[in-house]
Amino acid sequence: MLITSGEENGVVAARYLVENVSNISDTLQEHQFMVEFDLDGKNEFKTYEVGSAEFVSYIAGSTGFKNRGKNYWTDIVVLCKDICGVNLSIGYYDNETPQEYVNENDWLTILKIVRKWLGQENLPRFLREE
What's the burial of 32, exposed, middle or buried (CB within 10 Å: 0-12/13-18/19+)? middle
Domain for residue 128, yes or no? no
Domain count, the chain: 1
Domain for residue 125, yes or no? no
pLDDT in tens, 45-58: 999 989 899 999 99
Residue 10 has pLDDT above 90, yes or no: no
Residue 37 has pLDDT above 90, yes or no: yes
Domain for residue 54, yes or no? yes
Query: What does the pLDDT average to over 4-31?
Result: 88
117's CB contacts (< 8 A; 6+ apart) are 62, 63
Domain for residue 124, yes or no? no
Domain for residue 123, yes or no? no
pLDDT in tens, 60-90: 999 999 999 888 889 999 999 889 999 999 9
Higher pLDDT, 8 or 97: 97
Residue 113 has pLDDT above 90, yes or no: yes
Domain for residue 62, yes or no? yes
The alpha-helical segments, DSSP class H, found in 2-103 are 12-20, 24-28, 53-63, 75-79
pLDDT of residue 110: 94
Residue 130 has pLDDT above 80, yes or no: no
pLDDT of residue 8: 80
Instruction: Assess contact for 35 and 118: CB atoms under 8 A.
Output: yes
Domain range spanning residue 44?
A: 7-118
What's the burial of 85, exposed, middle or buried (CB within 10 Å: 0-12/13-18/19+)? buried
Domain for residue 90, yes or no? yes
**pTM: predicted TM-score of the whole model, two decimal places:** 0.90
Per-chain mean pLDDT for the chain: 92
Q: What CATH number should be reported for the domain holding residue 59?
A: 3.40.630.10
